[in-house]
A and B are shown apart, each in its own frame.
Chain A
Amino acid sequence: MRIAVCVKHSVDETELKLDPSGRPQLAGAAGKMSTFDKNAVEEGLRLKAAHTGEVVIFMVGTPASKKTLKEALAMGADRGALVLADPLAVDSLRTADMLAAAIRKGGPFDVVLCSEGSSDTYSGQVPPMLGELLGVPYAGYARKVVVNGQTARIERSLEDSVEILDVPVPFAASVVSEINEPRYPTLIQIMQAGKKPVEEMDGEELAPPGAYRQASVVSMSAQPSTRKHVMIEGSPDEAAAKLVDALMKEGVLSK
């Protein structure tokens, strides 16, 4: 079984720094493998363990983001493909275009896996777009994937329901974090993975943009995220009423 897994080198939201005007400093920001992508890699490795075959990692990123590719290889993937483009400068459909072209080039694949969304922008668009562009059946938000010959049984986890689907192979799917517990690659394993083959290709060459006009970010702003430390005084009833008022103003009380 040949399995393609797509990963993203995301901006690390914990380490995000703001400039004095409240804009996030994205140039040179710390990055990491998108949290749920580890679940996708793990699921690919599990399918490989159950069916033999190979796991190939696909990533749209800059050379600086190779760290993430290496980490996925250290988890046990066999090869990698790095599509060179700035993930913050291309929108979801362009990203999906590039990934689809790279997957076609490296294909055929029986299974294409992504996670439900990246931990930095979490738009969740690339996986279904990829399914569409590859022209294969697509199942999103999988919490269980079992491949039996030419059909896969997939459990989709929706907001308040679970759908069980029979999906013909080849297919594409996105996974949710509850599907598995990703393995931790040790530092030495990551160093060893540096020897695994990684093919690099240029995103624009691979998938020319044509007349497409992509969605873009106009501006970004953030509030410094320190705690307010407001101590509310008064009798229990007074304090409770003040707290409820404050929480209403914060907009965090669900109705």
Chain B
Amino acid sequence: MAGLDPAYAAVYTFTVASVVLVAYAVFRHSRLSSTSIGPGRLAGLAKDEARRFTTGDPVFLMHLSIALGVGLSIANSLLDPVIEYAPLLRTLILIFSVPLAVGLAAAFVWRVQVFIKSKRVEKELRSSDSFTSASTLLQGILILAIGLTTSELVLLWLPSLVLVGGTVGVARNLLVAAYYSRPSVNLIGYFDRPVSALKTPFSLGDVMAGKIEPEQVHVGVGKISEFDASQKLSYDSCVEIGACEAACPATASGRPLSPRVLVRKVSLLSRTAGGEQADPLTAVGEDELWSCTSCGACVASCPVSVKHLDLIYDLRRSLVARGKLDKEKSAMLENLAQYQNPYGFKSSTRGNWAEGLGIDTLAKNPRAEYLYWVGCLSSFDQRAQRIARALSKILKQAGVSFAILGPEEMCIGDPARRLGEEGRYQELAYQNIEKLNSYGVKKIIATCPHCYNALRNEYPEFGGRYEVVYHTQLISDLIRDGRVRVPADRIRKITVTLHDACYASRYNNIFDEPRRALDASVSEVREMGRRKEKTFCCGAGGSNYWYKVPQQRSIAGIRTDEAAKTGAKEIATECPFCLSMLDDATKVMNTGMEVKDVAEMVAECLA
């Protein structure tokens, strides 16, 4: 211990000052963006990090090592003058420093690898030179910060080098204050904002009620200044960790989108001279925005809680408002406007699939316990109708009282909303809610996760509050309660793999129930590497089912490859869109695998 050594005193003073600077920077950004970072948020974050710790995800562990490593070294540097009086604490710090240093070293290696990949992606995206150098700088700083923190932890073991360690710490703290205060605020403020959360830009109800004039409604973002403070914080929080890019199906398929590059381009644009007035669409391409399948892997994987999807929806809304839609996209929206389904089928034929099956409509049986919300694809697609029939068979066997809306059902609106036509979405939502409420509907079953997500997470905002259950959940419960019995000799001797639908698993945490249902109906379930909340998209979400985007290979093809590698003979799906995409892909790739919904697999085992 150097005691009153002037050099030590100077380093310590700088240490304290740099820590104060970090604290100030964090405080300042929380104020600027009106983000709450109080003790409650911190406690919540700690709890959430602990939960994620138990999942053992290596990328998460590396990031936790960085955060804890920085925290530990800051704590140690502040305590340094008095640490000799607390030998137990010092021992604890030293013990903790070991796994953290290992994690940091791993993070360092991983980061370098991410850096190399990111440059390859930028080359494919033909990013500008100025973007590439800005990105290289930021990634360099991240690598430097990791390096500095790692060395600081190592230096903890070498008390003779305390001044070196202290100096390294000051340098790192300055980097943290300059570059990581925003992501910290963003993480503390928004770690628990679910993937499914979507900003509602206006209320059509208010317009219809005359509370605001249609002219006052502003949709989309034409200028950087139109992003709200939390969005700006979110995009400026990107420190190019690259987790989003690694998880993104659009990037993986060679489409012109990387969520990292997208967010950073907007952030960099906002910092140019006059950036506040700049149009984000000058920096972002149309195909870049249409490449997104809204699978949410970017948002879910971001260690600092950047919400890429908000940006994509806002910019898509701008494109829609400017009439920048090709004919496939406008045809879908026109079909929704005219026929209330996105395919242009005669609306009165929606319930035809149920003819002769003895299924009541709600008009005929308004007292049914459940409303089965069929959705457009299972209503009109001859293949997906089999899902609806399979579920109906299961419900009938279990004696569940249910009915459908038949011709009174309309599209839930999800395709319009994800494409950026908020008005059309809300129009459908209000019409559906009016219908559901007029029947006094309480409980709803859905076989499409997009319908499920809208009913469960989005409709309450517009006055539709229901108990919504996903078909895989209900089927699993019916099996558990013995209301659906699969005789042992009817369990099919076959190996299947389950493809989790993004909107069921990542958006709504449904992943154990479909597995239970499969366990009861097939002899073996093999898992793919990317599963449950880390599932990989089929390529249809975000309205991608209705249009084409330039790509090097199909997203469904990538996923089918993963499924084929398990050696499974069949792919189980839980979403009619996934089924459609994977069915095509298995045929294109001649894998010989069949694709069926979980409900079909269960229904097959019933007499």
Contacts and interface: CB of A to CB of B under 8 A. Distances in A.
Q: Do A and B come into direct contact in the complex, CB within 8 Å?
A: yes
Interface stretch (A79-87, A96-104, A136-144, A176-184): A176-184
B339 A192 contact: no
A165 interface: no
Interface secondary structure of B, over-half rule: helix
B338 A12 contact: yes
Interface in B373-420: none
Find the residue from A14, A30, A75, A181 having the highest chain B CB count within 10 A. Answer: A14
B421 interface: yes
Contacts of B323: 75-76, 183-185
Interface stretch (B66-74, B172-180, B213-221, B555-563): B213-221
A18 to B, nearest CB: 12
Interface secondary structure of A, over-half rule: loop
B302 interface: no
Contact of A187 (B338, B345, B346, B421): B421
Given A15-B346, A184-B334, A187-B421, A195 B215 contact: yes
B219 A188 contact: yes
Contacts of A14: 338-339, 344-346
Find the residue from B214, B330, B427 having the highest chain A CB count within 10 A. Answer: B214
Interface string A26-53: 0000101000000000000000000000
Interface in B333-388: 333-334, 337-339, 344-348
Interface in B427-466: 427
B203 to A, nearest CB: 12
Interface in B311-333: 320-321, 323, 325-327, 329-330, 333
Contact of A15 (B217, B320, B321, B347): B347
A184 B333 contact: yes
Given A12-B338, A14-B346, A17-B348, A189 B321 contact: yes
Contacts of B182: none
Contacts of B344: 14
Contact of B214 (A15, A32, A181, A192): A192
A123 interface: no
A194 interface: yes
A114 to B, nearest CB: 20
A56 to B, nearest CB: 20
B339 A191 contact: no
Contacts of A17: 348
A181 B323 CA distance: 10
A191 B337 CA distance: 13
B237 to A, nearest CB: 31
B111 interface: no
Contacts of A181: 326-327, 330
B424 interface: yes
B207 interface: yes
A121 interface: no
B423 interface: yes
A187 B427 contact: yes
Contact-size category for A: 20 to 34
Contacts of B219: 186, 188
Given A17-B348, A191-B207, A184 B320 contact: yes
Contacts of A32: 338
Contacts of A75: 323
B603 to A, nearest CB: 23
B345 to A, nearest CB: 8
Contacts of B214: 188, 191-192, 194-195
Contacts of B217: 188, 192
A201 B447 CA distance: 51
A188 B338 CA distance: 16
Nearest to A181: B327
A76 B217 CA distance: 17
A75 B334 CA distance: 13
A15 B338 CA distance: 9
A30 B325 CA distance: 25
B321 A186 contact: yes
Interface in A63-116: 75-76
Contact of B325 (A12, A15, A184, A187): A184
Contacts of B424: 186-187
B351 to A, nearest CB: 15
A12 B345 CA distance: 12
Contact of B330 (A182, A187, A188, A195): A182
Interface in A1-30: 12, 14-15, 17, 30
Nearest to A185: B323
B274 to A, nearest CB: 26
Interface string B195-223: 00000001010010000001101010000
Contacts of A186: 219, 320-321, 421, 423-424
A191 B203 CA distance: 13
Nearest to A194: B214
Nearest to B208: A191
Nearest to B337: A187
Nearest to A17: B348
Given A12-B338, A14-B344, A187 B423 contact: yes
Interface in A169-207: 181-189, 191-192, 194-195
Contacts of B348: 15, 17
A181 B328 CA distance: 10
A40 B190 CA distance: 48
Contacts of B347: 15
B423 to A, nearest CB: 3
B175 to A, nearest CB: 45
A78 to B, nearest CB: 16
Nearest to B317: A186
A17 B339 CA distance: 14
B7 to A, nearest CB: 66
A227 to B, nearest CB: 11
Contacts of A189: 321
Contacts of B325: 183-184
Contacts of A192: 214-215, 217
Contacts of A12: 338
A191 B346 CA distance: 25
A44 to B, nearest CB: 14
A185 B338 CA distance: 13
B522 to A, nearest CB: 31
A113 to B, nearest CB: 18
Given A186-B421, A192-B215, A195-B215, 6 more contacts: A14-B338, A14-B339, A17-B348, A184-B323, A186-B320, A187-B424
26 contacts: A14-B339, A14-B346, A15-B347, A32-B338, A75-B323, A76-B323, A181-B327, A184-B323, A184-B325, A184-B329, A184-B333, A184-B334, A185-B323, A186-B219, A186-B320, A186-B321, A186-B423, A187-B423, A188-B202, A188-B214, A188-B217, A188-B219, A188-B321, A189-B321, A192-B217, A195-B214
Q: Sorted from nearest, which 7 A-B pairs have the closest CB atoms?
A: A187-B423, A183-B323, A184-B330, A191-B214, A188-B423, A192-B214, A187-B424
